[in-house]
Each structure stands twice: as C-alpha cells, then as structure tokens.
Amino acid sequence: MTYHVDALILRTRNVGEADELITLFTREKGKQTIRAKGIRKIKSKLRGNLEPVSHVRLGLAKGRSFDVVTEAKMTDRFSTIKAQPRLYGLAAKAIELTDVLTFEHEKDRAIYELLLYTLKALTRSSVPSSAVVLPPPPAYSESDTRLILAAFEIQLLKLLGYDPHLRRCVVCNQEVTPRASLLFDERSGGIVGSECRSHATSEITLTTAKFVNLSSERPAVAWGARITPMPAVEEVERVVNALRRRFTEKGNMKSERYLDSLT
C-alpha cells in the first residue's frame, strides 16, 4: 500500500550499507521516521533530495518497521537559507525545536504550518540573484529574523499546550498590573508581582512582554505585522529561553551552539 505526504525534513542518519532513516514532520501524520533505501549510492535518484531543511512531497510504501520512500519531489529546497550560515542556524533551530518537543505519530497540522511558514518567512531576508531587475522583496534585518524565531518558539509552546503568557505572577497566579517595566524571574521562567519577589529578578520592558503575549495569541500566518516599537532581541531571547526551560526542561540546543559559534 502506498500513500503520499507533504513533509519538512527534520533530520537524517545513516543506516545499513547505503540507507538513511529520515525524520519528517508531515502535514498528514505529524512527526514520522521513514527509510530511504540506497539513498547513499551515487546513482540513487533520491540523493540530494532529502536533506534537512527541505520541503518535499513523498510517495511512501508501508514497511515493517519503517515506511519506505518510493518517490520524492522537491517542493522547496530553501536555497536562500542554506546559502547563509546565520539564516541556516535559525532554520536549524526551528527544526531542532520541532524535533525535540514533539512525539511521533501525533498529527498536528498547525505545527506543520507554523514550521513551514517560519522557514518561508526567513527566506524573505535576502534578495535572490534572479531579482536584480525586480524590486527587492521587503528585507528583514538580522534582529528581525531572530524575532521571527522567537515568535516561532512561543507559538510552538502554545500549540504544544503550554501557556507562555506574561500576564500573571508565576508565584501567586494574580494578574500583574503593568508599570513601566515588569519583574522577570529567570529561574521560574515568568513574571512576578512586586509582593512575590523573593530572590534575584531582572526587569524586562513592557514591549518584550507585549511581543511574547501577541506571539502566543496570534496564529502564525497573522504574525508579520510589525510591533512598534520592536523589542530588544537579546531580552526577548532571554525570556523565551527561560520559558522553554520552565515548560519543557530543555536547555541549550545544538543549533544555538552553532549560532553562537558564528559571532
């Protein structure tokens, strides 16, 4: 029995003489690992078509432990992303987060759409060479692309059933009345009211809190409207890292070490 899926490739690893096990996030079935037979042979038609950070349409045949690729058609190779180390690092982070925080065979169309949308959004950050005679697409700065990733992570947490809002005190759950800034407790990954402040907290701006709250409320496709003023990206990333640790206990990502190595 064969079937087709639209998939984003998360990761690959070599098995056997010339095969690969490929982990996908599919529109139809959520995360799924499949086998590509003979893909490492020079004459394999699949070669080069099933690399991480690619959007593909696959034909699959039911297999005993893993379903097997029978055909692969490239939808988008995301060449713009792959040509730029920093963009590639951000895309790799979106992919790694999706991989680490989801389980196989849990269909989730919204996560698929979110990841696809985010990869597409990142590609707007540079002008393709074919566009020399055309007006350039709206370009994103480096901090814009990092904010896109932060918004992705907040939305992913939300879709996974967590509540990454910065509205209520993480200690007593009372709504915090916003003043000029908010107290953020990095250890517990949330804001605290002044009456619950017990140990070292740092201040974060209302702009950062607004960014986090908006990003968790809006469906991915609606994000893209600029928030004015834009928050400081370092502060947003610090908050998002703390939120991830609070809900998932996942610390540093491999892709974050790669991104750090670029600076």
Q: Are 255 and 93 in contact (CB under 8 A)?
A: yes
193 binds Zn ion (CB under 5 A): yes
- Min dist CB 135 to Zn ion, Å, is 51
Count of positions (residues) in the chain: 263
Which of residues 189 and 193 has its CB atom nearest to Zn ion in the complex? Answer: 193
**Pairing mode, strands 55-61 and 2-15:** antiparallel
Which of residues 52 and 193 has its CB atom nearest to Zn ion in the complex? Answer: 193
- Min dist CB 174 to Zn ion, Å, is 5
- Residue 120-159 contact track with Zn ion, rule CB under 5 A, x = bound: ----------------------------------------
DSSP at 184: E
Q: Burial of 78 by CB count in 10 Å (0-12 exposed, 13-18 middle, 19+ buried)?
A: buried
- Contact segment (CB under 5 A) with Zn ion among 69-77, 157-165, 196-204, 247-255 equals 196-204
* DSSP calls for 216-231: HHS-GGGBTBPPSSPP
Which of residues 124 and 167 has its CB atom nearest to Zn ion in the complex? Answer: 167
Tokens of 259: 């991104």
- Contact segment (CB under 5 A) with Zn ion among 46-54, 90-98, 111-119, 185-193 equals 185-193
C-alpha gyration radius of the chain:
20
- Min dist CB 177 to Zn ion, Å, is 11
172 binds Zn ion (CB under 5 A): yes
- Min dist CB 28 to Zn ion, Å, is 44
Q: Are 146 and 237 in contact (CB under 8 A)?
A: yes
